Structure 1
Amino acid sequence: MRYKHIFFDLDHTLWDFETNAVATLQELYTEHELDKRGIPSFDTFYASYSVINDKLWDRFRKGFINRNELRTKRFTMTFLEFKMCDDKLCDSMGKRFLEVLPTKTALFPHAIEVLDYLQEKQYPIHLITNGFEETQRLKMKHSGIHDYFTHIVTSETAGSLKPHRDIFDYALKLSSTSAAESIMIGDTLDVDILGAKEAGMDQVYFAPDKTQEGVTPTYTIRSLKELKDIL
């Protein structure tokens, strides 16, 4: 086998973050009766939240804000879009989001099938994620995929964020393997693919909806089951 160790991203690659986040935020929108607080519909709330959350995650990856700022500002800034200022509500929403989100279980199609396949082929399977340690492990346990992985490397444990090389080097050392023997599977060109490429690893760009441009990956797939043709 060309590759001896397989590394996955979690969110948007195996665990369907958008589906699970929508379900969580819909639950919180109803629970906190936001329709009575000046936010006319869940769709308008989610549209604003998504834009702000993406911008804050980008700033977090670049080191401009810390995780606590990310967790609180995404709701504070969203409510300001609707001319709302309620610190207690923001704090409650932030805590509830982190409680509810990891319990959601939607995975991308063929995720379990492919993990079973890789396990049967006796590949050691690992994870590299920028997500928070406790939250990511809960997601994996609730969705039934935690035990497939030999090593789970989060930005917290590694002290580094993708796409920085340090987190990949940390994962390779922990897994007792080399970049030449490893392959990284992820959904974001400038995070998963660029980071793995700069660490010397081959990469699989998972792009089920649309393909980004800027970095040329080793492989591009539209469905996880296409990994069977590579591995």
Structure 2
Amino acid sequence: MITTVLFDMGGTLEDIFVDEASEREAVEKLAKILTGCGLDPKVDLEELKRRVDAGWKRYGAYRDSCDVELKPVEIWCDFVLSDFDFPRESLAPHCEEIAHMWEVTHYHRRLRPRVVPMLEGLKGMGVKLGIISNTAALYQVFDILEEYGIRDFFQDVTLSSVTGFRKPCTDIFTVSLRQVQSKPEECVYVGDTVSRDVIGSKRAGFAKAIQICSKLTGEKDSGIRREYEPDYMVEDIYEVYPIVQQLREAETA
């Protein structure tokens, strides 16, 4: 019996994309935070962006090689801003503020249409709901769920920044399962990538994986070995509700 549906956040429950305007705004805000803390980058915005991009590339290579997520202090001190000689003791207290700003500014975010009625339908069936998300900030996902008005739907929110594990690592799925007290064979996972969401949940033993494509899907899934395929593909997030309803009805028939 399907008892639990767990969701990815960025690209799944919310649309997410990056463009030149959001990239520029994020660098401008970063410069403002740093100078406000007495940490002058001593470079113009173009050079700051170049160094930050290089730092993210270094961090991306590290985390993708081991499916590990570091804390904001380590990400920003040891990778993203490591080209600057900022004293660690001066930068570290501001890293979560920077990480939070980056997540909500560098990316355009908005709740997908019909998320709320979909969640209401699942909750009405008595299905347990949760989130498993890769994120480089500690509190941003919690805050934006509150902003969207959907935080109370979820019994658990499991984040890579808190657990230290990134999807597709099965450990982050196992942590979530322990927290919602569900068995993997009772669970459906909904995400926008094969590389992280479908493969990760299937390796963890989930019954079904549903994929909804986002603007990040092609980028994240480019060149991967498709170890698993989604059981369902949807274009509208609301479709998750009737799929789960049909699965439960089939099991009880």
User: What TM-score, normalized to structure 1?
Assistant: 0.72
Aligned to 2:62: 59
**Cα distance in structure 2, aligned partners of 1:123 and 1:135:** 25
Paired letter, 1:128:
I
Return the offset for 1:185: 0.8
Paired letter, 1:116:
E
Alignment of 1:221 with 2:234, yes or no, is yes
**Cα distance in structure 2, aligned partners of 1:182 and 1:191:** 16
Distance 1:186 1:53, change over 3 A: farther
Total equivalences in the alignment: 219
**Cα distance in structure 2, aligned partners of 1:59 and 1:188:** 20
1:30-69 aligned at under 5 Å gives the runs 32=31, 38-39=44-45, 45=49, 53=56, 56-57=59-60, 59-61=62-64, 62=66, 66-67=70-71, 68-69=73-74
Distance 1:70 1:217, change over 3 A: same
1:65-104 aligned at under 5 Å gives the runs 66-67=70-71, 68-72=73-77, 75-76=80-81, 87=86, 96-100=97-101
Aligned to 1:188: 193
**Cα distance in structure 2, aligned partners of 1:26 and 1:87:** 22
Distance 1:52 1:167, change over 3 A: same
Paired letter, 1:225:
Y
Would the aligned equivalents of 1:125 and 1:148 in 2 still touch at CA under 8 Å? Answer: yes
Aligned to 1:155: 160
Distance 1:31 1:153, change over 3 A: closer
| Secondary structure of residue in 2 paired with 1:16 | strand
Distance 1:149 1:76, change over 3 A: same
**Cα distance in structure 2, aligned partners of 1:197 and 1:186:** 12
Distance 1:65 1:130, change over 3 A: closer
| Secondary structure of residue in 2 paired with 1:106 | strand
Cα RMSD (Å) of the superposition? 3.9
Would the aligned equivalents of 2:118 and 2:238 in 1 still touch at CA under 8 Å? Answer: yes
Distance 1:18 1:159, change over 3 A: same
**Cα distance in structure 1, aligned partners of 2:176 and 2:45:** 43
Distance 1:182 1:191, change over 3 A: same
- My pick for the range that moved more, 135-144 or 11-20, is 11-20
- 1:126 paired residue among 125, 130, 142: 130
Return the offset for 1:70: 2.4
Return the offset for 1:159: 4.8
- 1:200 paired residue among 202, 205, 212: 205
Return the offset for 1:146: 1.4
Write out per-residue CA displacement over residues 106-147 of structure 1, whole angstroms, 9 at most, x where no aligned residue: 222332232222223332101112324423212222222211
**Cα distance in structure 1, aligned partners of 2:131 and 2:157:** 5
Write out per-residue CA displacement over residues 177-227 of structure 1, whole angstroms, 9 at most, x where no aligned residue: 211110111122221211110111121122134554623121222331221
User: Which stretches in structure 1 are left out of the alignment for 5+ residues?
Assistant: none
Would the aligned equivalents of 1:102 and 1:142 in 2 still touch at CA under 8 Å? Answer: no
Distance 1:147 1:189, change over 3 A: same
Distance 1:187 1:50, change over 3 A: farther
- My pick for the range that moved more, 16-25 or 151-160, is 16-25
**Cα distance in structure 2, aligned partners of 1:96 and 1:206:** 31
Return the offset for 1:149: 0.2
**Cα distance in structure 2, aligned partners of 1:178 and 1:187:** 22
Q: Larger relative CO (CA 8 A, sep 6+): 1 or 2?
A: 2
Return the offset for 1:151: 1.2
Return the offset for 1:51: 8.0
User: Which stretches in structure 2 are left out of the alignment for 5+ residues?
Assistant: 33-42, 245-253
User: What TM-score, normalized to structure 2?
Assistant: 0.66
